[in-house]
Structure 1
Amino acid sequence: MLKRILRIEPPYLAAIIFVIGVNYPGTLSPYSKGGDFHINYFNLLLHFGYLNSFFNQGWLNPVFWTLAIEFQFYLLMGLIYPLINSKKKYIQVLILISLLISTYLIKASGLIFHFLPYFILGIILFYRKTKQWPAVLCTFAELLIITLMWYTFSRVEFFATIFTWLILLFLKSSKKDLFTWLGKISYSFYLIHVPVGGKIINFSVNFIESSGFRIAVIFFALFTSLFLSYIFYRLIELPAINLSHLIIKKNKSNLNG
């Protein structure tokens, strides 16, 4: 849990500052579509505990809500990891079935339970990759989860999940290919692509009406987001990763010493 906090939190906090910094000058433009810039300090405070959804408060960045779900996932894994990592397959199966049942029994908004099938599919993939489960059992479980997801989530959510799962299932990448590079900056891209790419696209609609040029703007927004994500990764995320490794290594040395 400590490693996760040290790894994820500094870029997240930096992204909050980044979003505020981008939104403020954006509202000064005569082409701004929004209202005057102001900070809701209660809303801002809720971001630090991922609590916005529980108080019906919006997020500074609309993608931040998924971090709240991820944070709950880490808390949940901290509680049930001994069962997930059990050497007895029937315990692993029972805990996954229990998690799956909770998806349909617990309907509270803002909690992780609705999204557990995504994580269960990932856990099964982990079992497959680490050969903890035989291929037949993995395939049966994956088909079951995929079928349930078809009836549970929207088509966009379903196909996005399956596309990602298939990439992780079949892709064998080297240490220096494009996918590895994209994977490295993916968290930074996730944090800033909306305030960067979204601002570029929204600003462009004031001047561009041609569909061809609008497509070009989308690509420009994408590559600009990737470029700035790489800078964000190098300046903020990578130092946070190195710091987390250093602290964890030091703690292990102290325990062993």
Structure 2
Amino acid sequence: MIERDTSKKHIQQVDYIRAIASLAVALFHLGGKALPVLKYGWLGVHMFFLLSGFIICWSIPADYTWKMSGRFIGKRITRIEPPYIISIGLVIMMNFIVLSHYKPDWLNIICHFAYLNSFLEKPYLSPVYWTLGVEFQFYLFVALCFPWLKSKYGLWLLLILCIVPVFVKIPGGLLLGVFPVFGLGILYYLYLKKITDINIALFLGVLIFFCCIHTVGWLPAGMAFVTLLLLTAPLKSYAMVSFFSKISFSLYLTHDIVGSRLVVFMGTKLPKNVLFKGLEFLTGIVVSILFAYLFYLVIEKPFFKLSKRISYTPISED
């Protein structure tokens, strides 16, 4: 039987991945699409997917049972949903300010609250929201399947779920379509917890990596592999990395609402040359970071602390 791990140490590598992924996506949306390196910033999404596969499993008690699923989902909703809903309010408010004849599609907006847009093929108000829908699907999966994942049949379940999208076409925005990326993170968790040994982990890792290539493509699969290497690297703590890690979710949520719109607005007022394009881009990212920090302090941080107060029901050990 696996004993409960009561000493969850902070994993420094996670800070690097969160910081890099959020900045990459933000830079991409703020104008990086036209730049040689930053045009690949969208791959930060797959860094987050692999990280979630690992860190969500890592944060759960080893003696987790289905009786704890309500607590698990409650913690995730408390942590994620309020900042997400408030960001939706910011989008709507910004649309009213910028677009003089804006008429909100309230049914579409309501669908956002339950992450139904991907299932109903309705557009999201922000280009990053679809990934939150995938993440929430993953939370539901973990809540239901984690006891199986850490059992002796867990590796088979993991492999099957990674192979299915290779042979079955999955609509975009659904967890199963990108599950192999999450699967690499889950496999790393199973290895660290000694649920599998190094030889089996490497063998399955190669199989899941090829599933990643088939389902999401070479570039996302390659970024998933790089993320996995970052998780294993001996990285030191730095204040700047810690800062961007802390505001990563807030930056991810709000950069397009604030920064992208500011860049577009400046583009309509300033001369269209390289110098002013650079000024627009730099202003957009600086304002996005400052706004994200404020959003973190006022909105995200209080709900993060509140989620920590939701504890898992202790399991008696006879």
How many Å apart are 1:195 and its aligned residue? 1.2
Residue 230 (structure 2) aligns with: 167
Q: Measured at CA, do residues 214 and 156 of structure 1 come closer, stay the same or move farther in structure 2, by a change above 3 Å?
A: farther
Q: Measured at CA, do residues 227 and 130 of structure 1 come closer, stay the same or move farther in structure 2, by a change above 3 Å?
A: farther
1:46 & 1:245 partners in 2: Cα distance? 27
Q: Measured at CA, do residues 163 and 225 of structure 1 come closer, stay the same or move farther in structure 2, by a change above 3 Å?
A: farther
The amino acid of 2:89's aligned partner reads I
Report the aligned-residue RMSD. 2.3
How many Å apart are 1:131 and its aligned residue? 4.1
Could you tell which deviates more after superposition, 105-114 or 42-51? 105-114
Residue 13 (structure 1) aligns with: 85
Residue 44 (structure 1) aligns with: 109
- Which stretches in structure 2 are left out of the alignment for 5+ residues? 1-72
Could you tell which deviates more after superposition, 73-82 or 208-217? 208-217
> For 1:1-257, what aligned pairs fall within 5 Å after superposition?
1-28=73-100, 36-86=101-151, 88=152, 91-109=153-171, 110-174=173-237, 177-206=239-268, 207-246=270-309, 248-249=310-311, 252=313
The amino acid of 2:99's aligned partner reads T
8 A Cα contact 1:125 1:169, kept in partner: no
How many Å apart are 1:221 and its aligned residue? 1.5
Could you tell which deviates more after superposition, 214-223 or 10-19? 214-223
The amino acid of 1:11's aligned partner reads P
8 A Cα contact 2:180 2:208, kept in partner: yes
Q: Which has the higher contact order (CA 8 A, sep 6+)?
A: 2
Q: Measured at CA, do residues 14 and 178 of structure 1 come closer, stay the same or move farther in structure 2, by a change above 3 Å?
A: same
8 A Cα contact 2:259 2:287, kept in partner: yes
Give the match's secondary structure for 1:59. coil
Q: Measured at CA, do residues 141 and 181 of structure 1 come closer, stay the same or move farther in structure 2, by a change above 3 Å?
A: farther
Give the match's secondary structure for 2:229. helix
How many Å apart are 1:155 and its aligned residue? 4.2
How many Å apart are 1:136 and its aligned residue? 3.2
How many Å apart are 1:108 and its aligned residue? 3.9
Normalised by the length of structure 2, the TM-score is: 0.69
- Which stretches in structure 1 are left out of the alignment for 5+ residues? 29-35
1:26 & 1:49 partners in 2: Cα distance? 27
How many Å apart are 1:66 and its aligned residue? 1.0
The amino acid of 2:207's aligned partner reads L
Aligned-residue identity in percent: 32
How many Å apart are 1:238 and its aligned residue? 0.8
Q: Deviations over 1:136-183 (max 9, x none)?
A: 333333233223322332444334433333322325343x53222222
Q: Deviations over 1:187-210 (max 9, x none)?
A: 111111111221122223222422
Work out the number of aligned pairs and report it: 241
8 A Cα contact 2:250 2:292, kept in partner: yes
8 A Cα contact 2:112 2:124, kept in partner: yes
How many Å apart are 1:121 and its aligned residue? 0.8
